[in-house]
Structure 1
Amino acid sequence: MSSMIVDSLKHATNRCNIYGGFFVFGIGITGNILNIIIFTSLKTFRETSAAFYMNVTSAVNIFQLVVGLLSRILITGYDIDPTKTSSVLCKARQFTLITTMLIIFSCMCFAAIDQFLLLTNRGRHLCNLQVASRLVIVAFIVSFLHGIPILIFQDLYPPPGTGQTSCSSINTGYSIYYSRFLFPVLLGILPLIIRITFGLLAFINVRQLHNRRVPIVRLERDKQLTAMVLIEVVVDVIITLPYSIYNHWYSSAVIFSDPISIAQNQLISSITRIIFYGNFSIQFYIYCCVSSRFRRQLVHVLTNIYFKYLQEKINRRQMNRVAPRSIVEVNTVL
C-alpha cells in the first residue's frame, strides 16, 4: 500500500515538473520578449529610468528561465542531469542561477525606489538613465563577486567514482549561509520589504500629483509605472512566500527516512519551486492586467510598428521578384 502511495506521489511530482514547468517557461519567454519589444520601441519608456530597470529585468529573466527552469524540467521531469557528471556544469549552473536572481531582484528594487524618488522634489534628479546604467553595472559586478564562493564550494559530492553523486555544497558554513540567509532573506524577505515600502510610498506620492501642476503626459506615465511596480510587488509576495517558507522549514527540519514523507516533501518542493519561477515569468501579464495604457501601447507597437515593418519587407521582396521579369520581357521585345 505504501509503495503505491509513493509511486503516485512520484508520478504527481514528475507531471508537475513537466507540465507546470513548460507552462511557466512558455508564458515567461513570450512575456519577457514582448516586454523588451515594448520598452525599447516607445520613446516614453526609452527615456524613463524605471522602464530601463524593467527592461533589464526582462532580459535577465529570459536567461534565468532558460538556464534555471528549463534545466530543472530536464533534471526532475526527464532525469537528464549533466550536473551530476560534470563538475564544471555543476558549478556553472548554480553560479548562473544565484547571480541572475540577485541581478533581477536588485533591478526590481531599483525600479521601486526610482519610482518613489521620481515623485519627490529632492530625489527626482537621481532618476535618469545615467544613474540607472551605473546602478545596473554595480548590480552585475556585486552579483558576480557574490557568486565566487559558489565556484569554490559547489561541486560533485561524493566525488565521481565513489557511488551516487550530486551537485551540492561541500562547505558546511556556506550551506548554512545558503539555506538560512541567501534564499530566505537576500532573495526572499529583504527585496520584498524594500519593494513594498517604496512601492507604497510611490503610490501615496502619485495620488498627490493631482494637487500639483504636472503635465498630463507625465502624470499618466507616472501613474502607469507606479501601478505596474506596486501590483507586481503584491503578486511577487504571493509567489515568493511559499518557496521562502518551505526553504526555511526544510533547512531546520529533521531528515526524513520514511519513503512517503520523502515523496511528499519532493512534491511540495516541486510545486513551490514552479510557483517561485513565476517571479521571472508573469511581469508582462501583470502590466497588461493593471494598465489599459500598456495594453494600448502593446497593440500600437505590434500593429503600427512591427506589423507595418514586416508588411513593407514582404512588399519589397515581391517588387524585387517582379522587377527582373519585366526587364527580361523588355529585352525580348527589343
Structure 2
Amino acid sequence: MFIGLLPFILNNGFNVELSQSPLFYCKFRYYAYQVCALISMTCICLATIDQYFATCSHQRWQQWCNIKLARHLVTIFVFIWFVHNIPYLIYYDYVVSTVTGKTTCVITSKIFQQYATYGVILILGKLLPICIAFFFGFLTYRNVQEISYRTLPFVRRELDKQLTVMVLVVVVFAFFTVMPYAFVYMLLQMPSFTTDPFTAAQLQFASTLTLAILYMYFAVSVT
C-alpha cells in the first residue's frame, strides 16, 4: 500500500513527480509492488484451495488441509515471487521523454515490457488467480451444501460454513476490485483504442479510477 498507493496519490492528486528520487527507488518501487501483489493473490488462491480440501467429504483430501503444508507453500511461493521479479530491478530505469522532456521510470527492455504487461500484470497478477479462486470457491460452496448430510459434529459444520463464507466473500470482493482494472488495462494495450485522443483520455481516466479501486483489495486483504 505504501509503495504503490502513496506515489499514486502524490502524482494524480497533487501533481508531485518523483522523477528526482534515487534510481534505487525507481527500481525497488515496482519490484516491491509486484512481489507484494503476487504474494497477496497467491494467498487468496491458497486460502480458497485450503478451504476446499477442508470441506471435502473424503478423508484423503482433508489431509491436505494442514498448517504445516500451508506454511511450506507460502514460503515457497514467496521465494518464487522474490526471484521471479528480479528483472524489475534490472530493466527499470529513468528515461527522458523526447516529446515532453519529462523524466519517467520505465522498463528499458521491450521483451520484458511485453512479458510484464501480459504475463505478470494481466495473467499472473489478475486473470489466473481470480479464475483459480473462483473455481475452487465454487467447489467449496458445493461441498458446504453437502455438509448438512454428513455425520459431523454441529460445531464443526458451522465452523466450516463460517470459514467458507469468509473466503468466498474475499474472492467475490477481489473479483469486483481487481477485474475492472484488468479490463481497462487490456483496452489500453490495444492501439485501436488509444489512437483517438478523446478515447485515450477516457481510458486513462478509467484506468486511474479502477486503479484506486484495485488498491481497496490490498487494503482489505491486509486487514
Tell me whether the two structures share a fold, i.e. TM-score over 0.5. Answer: yes
The alpha-carbon deviation at position 181 of structure 1 amounts to 2.3
Q: For residue 36 of structure 2, what is the aligned residue in structure 1?
A: 100
Instruction: Give the distance between the partners of 1:84 and 1:114, measured in 2 at CA.
Output: 45
Could you list the per-position Cα deviations for residues 271-297 of structure 1 after superposition, in whole angstroms to 9, with x for gaps in the alignment? 110111121123589xxxxxxxxxxxx
Amino acid at match of 1:128: N
Give the TM-score taking structure 2 as reference length.
0.89
Specify the SS of the correspondent of 1:213. Answer: coil
Inter-CA distance 272–205: structure 2 relative to 1 (3 Å threshold): same
Letter of the 1:70 partner, please give it.
L
Whether the 8 Å contact between 1:179 and 1:248 is mirrored in structure 2 is no
* Percent of pairs with identical residues: 32
The letter for the 1-side match of 2:150 is: R
Superposition pairs of residues 91-240 of structure 1, within 5 angstroms: 91-120=27-56, 121-158=59-96, 163-240=101-178
Please point out which of 63, 75, 78 is paired with 2:11: 75
Match of 2:213 in 1: 275
2:187 aligned with 1:243: no
**1:83: how far off?**
4.4
Q: Is the 8 A contact 2:40 2:221 kept in 1?
A: no
- Counterparts of 1:110 and 1:88, CA distance in 2: 32
Deviation digits for residues 5-53 of structure 1 (CA, Å, limit 9, x no counterpart): xxxxxxxxxxxxxxxxxxxxxxxxxxxxxxxxxxxxxxxxxxxxxxxxx
Q: Distance in 1 between matches of 2:188 and 2:128?
A: 20
Runs of 4+ in 1 over 2 A off after TM superposition: 79-86, 253-258, 260-266, 281-285
What amino acid does structure 2 have at the position aligned with 1:166?
A: T
Q: 1:156 is paired with a residue of what secondary structure?
A: strand
Distance of 1:118 and 1:279 partners within structure 2: 25
Q: Note closer, same or farther for the CA distance 1:152–1:117 as it changes in structure 2 (3 Å cut).
A: same
Q: C-alpha separation between the residues in 2 aligned to 1:88 and 1:110? A: 32
Secondary structure in 2 aligned to 1:122? helix
TM-score w.r.t. the length of structure 1 is 0.61
**Structure 1: 5+ residue stretches without partners:** 1-64, 286-334
CA gap of 1:277–1:225, structure 2 versus 1, over 3 A, is same
Q: Alignment partner of 1:126: what SS?
A: coil
Structure with the largest fraction of helix: 1
Aligned to 1:331: none
Question: RMSD in angstroms over aligned alpha carbons?
Answer: 2.1
- For 1:284 and 1:67, the matched residues in 2 are separated by 14
Partner amino acid, structure 1, of 2:52: F
* Cα shift at 1:263: 3.8
* Displacement after TM superposition at 1:84 (Å): 4.8
Higher radius of gyration, 1 or 2: 1
Conservation of the 8 A alpha-carbon contact between 1:188 and 1:244: yes
Residues 295-322 of structure 1: CA deviation (Å, up to 9, x unaligned): xxxxxxxxxxxxxxxxxxxxxxxxxxxx
**Contact between 1:117 and 1:126, CA under 8 Å: does it hold in 2?**
yes
